[in-house]
Amino acid sequence: MKLICSKSNLLNGVNIVAKAVPNKTTMSILECILIDATGSEIKLLANDMELGIETVVEGEILEKGQIALDAKIFLDIVRKLPDNDITIVTDSSLKTNITCEKAKFTIIGKSGDDFSYLPSIERIDSIVLSQFTLKEVIRQTIFSIADNDNNKLMTGELFEIDGDILKVVSLDGHRISIRKIILKNHYPSRKVVVPGKTLNEISKILSGDMDKDVSIFFTGKHIVFEFDKTVVVSRLIEGEYFKIDQMLSSDYETKVTVNKKELLECIDRATLLVKEGDKKPIIISISDGNMELKINSTVGSMDEEIDIIKQGKDIMIGFNPKFMIDALKVIEDEEIDIYLVNPKAPCFIRDIKEKYIYLILPVNFTTVA
């Protein structure tokens, strides 16, 4: 194999596919990036068996062939080479020379035959949305997936299509995040659970451009994202997702309208008194026109008041401050509405059109400072 491409194109491509290289694996071929120049285009591939990424790099193929190179070393070499044309040449013994200007690296590759290609997926069913929208919706929901594997379904996000609505849901047993997106077209109904890891990695690759689209294809076991010159294939999580509709209710006893930034900064301040792992709640007392926030820990105490608009009953309720912060951080509205029922029932932060719903379970508190 012999090929030439510019450093910037190659670096961009390697950075993209490197997202599918596992940190730890016992199969050393999975730690590799495959350079596939057997066809008419230079393709880079990586695949950790759950998630696979393929991208096309512009360049010239002087001699067809393929080679698998250790992803970390290859990325480091490409990154540190001068900003000029890079030539990659392999021989039959898998020795690979990577040259750029007067610098020449020699590393030993692995045979491309051992590499597991992406599963070939029939691309029929698809939806289209902008890269910006997909990147945003992941950011606005990914924080409330479960961080452990106890329940596999909780480690993914529900993507539910119904007509022209895409609903994205994540939950971890303490909170639920729901975002609704209006699509340009109507599509057949569909429900899949996409692994959180896939979404995390894909959001790093997406440009976040409003004018560039992503096509998403579904099959029984896989989801495929196609954008720019890149294809991302991921397994789906199997099983039936939680029935969240029965957890949502529009009844409330108290409705609070509050400036989001003020509330976020106040809760953020309060958390500095809480050491990691310590589960001190922030206690919120709501009365006419006033919200008082208190936290009490071994380190000290904090007490702060915020002006609000209140409808309904007074209430005192405790929350894990981190859960409140996570939700408030990803809401773009300046003023938000919080709906409460009683100190044991979940609170809802949602807009009128329900483009977003954040449900947070309260925590018990016994003593109040």
Q: Is 76 in the site for a second copy (CB under 8 A)?
A: yes
Closest CB 75 distance from a second copy, rounded Å: 9
Residue among 79 and 221 whose Cβ is closer to a second copy: 79
Measured between alpha carbons, how far is 28 from 68 in angstroms, rounded to an integer? Answer: 11
DSSP class of 116:
P
Question: Which part of the chain contacts a second copy (CB under 8 A), choosing from 54-62, 266-274, 308-316, 317-325?
Answer: 266-274
Query: Of the candidates 8, 38, 82, 188, which one interacts with a second copy according to CB under 8 A?
Result: 82
User: Smallest gap, in angstroms, from Cβ of residue 346 to a second copy?
Assistant: 27
User: Segment 302-331, which members bind a second copy (CB under 8 A)?
Assistant: 302-306
Binding residue for a second copy, selected from 81, 86, 154, 193, defined by CB under 8 A = 81
Within 52-71, the residues that bind a second copy by CB under 8 A are 70
Among 49, 299, 309, 368, binds a second copy (CB under 8 A): 299
Task: Tell me the window of 45-53, 56-64, 190-198, 260-268 that interacts with a second copy (CB under 8 A).
Answer: 260-268
Among 300, 309, 311, 335, binds a second copy (CB under 8 A): 300
Q: Of the two residues 96 and 170, which places its CB atom closer to a second copy in the complex?
A: 96
Taking a C-beta distance cutoff of 8 angstroms, is the pair 193, 236 a contact?
yes
Q: Which of 2, 269, 313, 355 binds a second copy (CB under 8 A)?
A: 269
| Residue closer to a second copy (CB basis): 197 or 310 | 310
Closest CA to 330 of 362, 355, 295, 304: 355
d(CA 296, CA 368) in angstroms, rounded, equals 8
Which of 50, 58, 253, 268 binds a second copy (CB under 8 A)? It is: 268
- Applying CB under 8 A, which of residues 8, 27, 80, 309 lies at the interface with a second copy? 80
> What is the distance between the alpha carbons of residues 303 and 295, in angstroms, rounded to a whole number?
7
The residue within the footprint of a second copy, chosen from 265, 326, 337, 351 (CB under 8 A), is: 265
Say how far apart CA 358 and CA 175 lie, in whole Å: 7
Q: Are 169 and 160 in contact (CB under 8 A)?
A: yes
Q: Which of 3, 42, 77, 89 binds a second copy (CB under 8 A)?
A: 77
* Span 91-130, contacts to a second copy by CB under 8 A: 102-108
Q: Which is nearer to a second copy, 126 or 257 (CB)?
A: 257
User: How far is the C-alpha of 291 from the C-alpha of 325, rounded, in Å?
Assistant: 16
Length of the chain as a residue count: 369
To a second copy, the closest distance from the beta carbon of 195 in angstroms equals 31
Footprint on residues 214-253 left by a second copy (CB under 8 A): none
Cα separation, 11 vs 78, in Å, equals: 6
CB 193 within 8 A of CB 183: no
93 CB-contact burial (10 Å; exposed 0-12 / middle 13-18 / buried 19+):
exposed
Residues touching a second copy: how many (CB under 8 A)? 28
**Pairwise CA distance, residues 137 & 180, whole Å:** 9
88 binds a second copy (CB under 8 A): no
Q: How far apart are CA 225 and CA 267, in angstroms?
A: 37
DSSP, residue by residue, 39-77: SSSEEEEEE-SSEEEEEEE--EEEE-EEEEEEHHHHHHH
Nearest CA among 358, 332, 362, 364 for reference residue 261: 332
Residues that bind a second copy (CB under 8 A): 70, 73, 76-77, 80-82, 102-108, 265-266, 268-269, 272-273, 299-306
